[in-house]
Amino acid sequence: MGEAAASPAAAARSAAAARREAGRGEAGDMTKTLTPSDLSAIEAAVREAETRTSGEIYCVVAEESAHYGETPLVWAAAVALLGPAVLLLGGVHVSAPDLFEGWTSAQVGAVAEAAARSALMGAILMQAVLFAVVAVVVSIRGVRLALTPRGIKRHEVKRRATGIFLSKNLHLTRERTGVLIFVSLAERMAEIVADEGIAQHVETKVWDKAMAALAEGLKRGEPAAGFAAAVGLCGDVLAERFPPHPGDNPNELPDAVVLLPRV
Residue 193 belongs to domain with CATH number: 3.10.310.50
36-50 and 223-241 are packed helices; what angle lies between their axes, rounded to 10 degrees?
10
Question: Are residues 121 and 155 both part of a single domain?
Answer: no
Residue 221 belongs to some domain of the structure: yes
* Rounded Cα gap, residues 117 and 85, in angstroms: 17
34, part of any domain: yes
Q: What is the Cα–Cα distance from 253 to 256, expressed in whole angstroms?
A: 9
141 and 152 in a single domain? The answer is no
Question: Is residue 97 domain-resident?
Answer: no
Backbone angles phi and psi of 206, in degrees to 5: -65, -45
Q: Tell me, yes or no, whether 162 and 81 share the same domain.
A: no
Contact 30, 183 (CB under 8 A): yes
Distance CA 51, CA 29 (A): 31
If asked whether residues 39 and 124 sit together in one domain, one would say no
Distance CA 188, CA 183 (A): 8
Domain residues for the domain of 109 are 70-92+103-146
Long-range pairs for 136-140: beta carbons < 8 A, 24 or more residues apart: 136/72, 138/71, 138/72, 138/75, 138/76, 139/72
- What is the domain count for the chain? 2
Does the residue 191 lie in any domain?
yes
pLDDT value at position 108?
A: 58
What pLDDT is recorded for position 206?
Answer: 76
pLDDT tens track of the chain, all 263 residues?
Answer: 333 334 444 444 444 444 444 334 443 444 456 889 999 999 999 999 999 999 999 999 999 999 999 999 999 999 998 877 776 676 555 555 555 566 666 665 666 667 667 767 777 888 899 999 999 999 999 999 999 999 999 999 999 999 999 999 898 888 888 999 999 988 888 899 998 888 788 877 778 889 899 888 878 878 888 889 999 999 998 998 889 888 787 888 999 999 998 87
Is position 184 within any domain?
A: yes
